[in-house]
Amino acid sequence: MARPRETQSASDRLRLIQATLNEPLDVPRPPHQRTFGTCRDYSLLLCSMLRHQAIPARIRCGFANYFSAAP
C-alpha cells in the first residue's frame, strides 16, 4: 500500500480509508483509525464525489496572491 504522503488516486485513497476501518464512509472513525491526507487529497475526493453526482467540478491549486487589491 502507498505511503500516506504519496500522490494517490481517489480510488487508492478510498481503499486506504476502508483498510483502516471497514465501515461506511459516514461512520465517524476514532483518531487512531483515521488516515493522513493533504489538501490535495481532500480536493480530489470532493471533486470525485461531485463528478459522480454529475456536478461539473475541477481542482484548482496555486498560491492566493491573486486576492490582493489591484494597484
Q: What is the pLDDT of residues 15-61, one digit of tens each?
A: 888 888 889 988 998 998 888 888 888 899 999 999 999 999 998 87
- Residue 13: Cβ within 10 Å count: 20
DSSP 14-43: HHHHHHH--S-TTSPPPGGGPPP--HHHHH
Distance CA 14, CA 53 (A): 17
- Is residue 67's pLDDT more than 80? no
Asked whether the predicted pLDDT for residue 65 surpasses 70, the reply is: no
Q: Is the pLDDT of residue 7 over 80?
A: no
Q: What is the pLDDT, as a whole number, of residue 16?
A: 86
Beta strands in 4-67 (DSSP E): none
Question: Nearest-CA neighbor of 35 among 65, 13, 53?
Answer: 13
Residue with cell 472513525: 29
